[in-house]
Amino acid sequence: MSEEREREITTEAEFDEALRKLVLSALGNGVDTRGAWVYRNGESYPDLEVLVTELAK
């Protein structure tokens, strides 16, 4: 695995694009991205739940 420097996400558009690329990369590698993930982030940031749902075309 290459060591790529993580780029700071500073806008909603950058977040949207980074998330899209992450999900598409996972799908391309056979990872089932559907489901929910909970992230407990300590005192500095809010705790989050991320939900991915496949939509009908």
Q: Tens digits of per-residue pLDDT, 1-57? A: 455 567 799 999 999 999 999 999 999 999 999 999 999 999 999 999 999 999 999
**Residue found under tokens 């705790």:** 47
Helix, strand and coil percent figures for the chain, each rounded to 5? 30, 20, 55
Structure confidence at residue 12 (pLDDT): 98
User: Would you state the pLDDT for residue 24?
Assistant: 97
pLDDT for residue 1: 47
Q: What are phi and psi of 32, to 5 degrees?
A: -80, 110
Beta strands in the chain, from DSSP E residues, in sequence order:
35-39, 48-52
| CA-closest candidate to residue 34, choices 7, 56, 54, 6 | 54
The single residue listed with the structure tokens 């790529």 is 4
What is residue 28's predicted lDDT score, i.e. its pLDDT? 98
pLDDT for 56 equals 97
